[in-house]
Structure 1
Amino acid sequence: MPTRTTPWPAGTPCWIDYGATDVDAAREFYGRLLGWTFTGGDPEYGGYLNALRDGGPAAGMGPLTNPDDAPGWTVYVATDDSAATVEAIRGAGGAVVVEPMEIGPLGTMTIAADPQGNAFGLWQSGEHTGVRVFNEPGSLVWEEAAVEDVAAARAFYTAVFGYRFDEIPDMGGYATFATDDRPLGGLGPVQPGLPKGWAVCFGVSSTDDTVAAVEARGGKVLHPAEDTEFGRFAVVEDPWGAAFSVME
């Protein structure tokens, strides 16, 4: 089981969390679907929960801070210097939605958006280093951004995080991004019928069984399960309209 207990390198997607309108219901849905247990929920941290897989943090979950927002997943990128990254975001035409905010001894959180309005977070770790369990069923295996202007998005994320983009042949402009030799995620054009912005993909032991479980619990399928060279893949939506992907 891949694990990591030290801070992730700057520029690496390092944490994800879910903003819920009904935390108890979302906890039940994702806990049963992905085999998560939960810790936290303390009032001093706004009821925020850590979702654990095999005892290691796999994701976060908490109530939406703005009740007008739609439920959904946020991808956080590691930074060693929140203030400098915020300056780079603004310099590249992005916006800062939530200024860097210290979360006690755990770390510093920021919420930002690229020039096309796609939201993402920054995490400067303290005691909480981010995802510790990954690339296993019930944990994060990939993250990607679907954007309207691919060239502009590449320019923005390169300016802010120093990404190198490697386009995959015959995938309509989809490219992986990296800061060294290991791909960290992907970026490509918005696809018909699928949402725009940053998205998360969870590993599962059976894509077909997971899709069936999503539908049985009130969700729906946005992209039916299909075999790819990377594994069997599907895009689904939870009962509150938040999209995510699963990969076997």
Structure 2
Amino acid sequence: MSTKISNWPAATPLWVDLGVDDLNAAQAFYSDLFGWKFVSGGQGSGDYLLAHVGGRAVAGLGPKQDPGMPTVWTTFLASDDVDVTAKKISAAGGELLAPPFDVMESGRLALATDSVGATFGVWQAGTHIGAERVNEHGALCWNELHTRHYASARAFYAEVFDVSYQDTTEEGLVYSTIRRPLDGREVGGIHHDTDLSEHTPGHWMTWFASDYVNGTATRALELGATHLRPVAESPMGRMALVQAPQGEIFGIIDAPRANE
């Protein structure tokens, strides 16, 4: 378990949020699955909700801004200056979906796609630092980019966020952990995912920690989810891949990964 009360260092995946068609149904699903409690995102935030574990924010949930948007968990990376990062995104071959704008006093935000087509957010903290608890049941524990265009993805994030990489040499797996520039700490990953079709854009995957992956995976099924990958052992711990009733995909894993 880790509690965070100060700003996350640049390049750290610090927040995830989800836009859904049926907000009440999503609240019911995640409150049952992870024990999340929901509070308003604050005056002027509309129906945006902050999911809490132990009284601290772990994720965001709200109605879709556009009904045609896919239902996905979006990963946000920390920035000390979103405006500077936005310029780097464009220069490195990415595309800004939403140029930098202020979110009340909470912070400053941009949305973008990277050079391999994966959507992500950039967050410059104001009063909202992002996730305040990580690496415990129901909280964020890891974020990784899945892409067939592995070298291009690595080049993009190195150029935009000044990250470095540690390669994984496990047989049959081409994977790099992302090291943030401040201290070289591993805060995320890039996976050369050959299961994706050549024309499928990359995507960021969100992983939540679970005290009991078997039980959480079973409960997800009972709540109407499906298993894209059943519970299995891995070098990182027991894990499963779940698709929730409204279509969003996320992972559950019982081995916390350092992310602070």
Task: State the TM-score, normalized to the length of structure 1.
Answer: 0.96
1:49 & 1:95 partners in 2: Cα distance?
27
- Structure 2: gaps of 5 or more residues: 255-260
Contact 1:35 1:138 in 2 (8 A): yes
Show structure 1 runs of 4+ deviating over 3 A. Answer: 193-196
CA contact (8 A) 2:18 2:72 kept: yes
Deviations 1:86-145 (A, max 9, x none): 000000000000111101111011111102210000000000011000011110010001
Work out whether 1:121 is the aligned partner of 2:112. no
Instruction: String of CA shifts for 1:159-205, please: whole Å, max 9, x gaps.
Output: 00111111111252111111233210111122537994001000001
Q: Deviations over 1:203-246 (max 9, x none)?
A: 00111111111111111001111112221011110011110000
1:232 is the counterpart of 2:232: no
- Does structure 1 retain, via aligned residues, the 8 Å contact 2:12–2:77? yes
2:214 to 208, 216, 230: 208
1:90 maps onto 2:93 in alignment? no
For the Cα contact (< 8 Å) 1:146–1:191, is it kept in 2? no
Aligned to 2:233, the other structure's residue is in SS state: strand
Cα contact 1:136–1:204 (8 A) shared by 2: yes
Report the counterpart of residue 104 of structure 1 in structure 2.
104
Q: Say yes or no: does 1:217 pair with 2:223.
A: yes
Give yes or no for the alignment of 1:30 onto 2:34. no
Distance 1:160 1:64, change over 3 A: same
1:80 aligns with 2:83: no
What is the rounded CA distance, in whole Å, between the counterparts of 2:44 and 2:66 in structure 1? 18
Distance 2:120 2:20 in 1: 16
Q: State the Cα deviation string for residues 60-99 of structure 1 (Å, max 9, x = none).
A: 0111111101111000001111110000000000000011
1:47 CA displacement: 0.8
What amino acid is aligned across from residue 65 of structure 1 in structure 2?
Answer: Q
| 1:188 equivalenced with 2:191 (yes/no) | yes
Letter in 2 for 1:186: G
Q: In structure 2, what residue type is equivalent to 1:222?
A: L
Is contact 1:21-1:63 (8 Å) kept? yes
Q: Following the alignment from structure 2 to structure 1, what is the Cα–Cα distance between the partners of residues 195 and 30?
A: 26
Matches within 5 A, 1:43-62: 44-62=44-62
CA deviation string 1:32-85 (max 9, x = no partner): 101110100557212100000011100001111111011110000011111100
In structure 1, what is the Cα distance between the partners aligned to 2:42 and 2:122? 22
The verdict on how the C-alpha distance between 1:124 and 1:41 changes in structure 2, with shifts beyond 3 A counting, is closer
Which residue number corresponds to residue 63 of structure 2? 63
Residue 33 of structure 1 aligns to a residue in which SS? helix
* TM, length-normalised to structure 2: 0.92
Report the number of matched residues. Answer: 248
RMSD value, Cα: 1.5
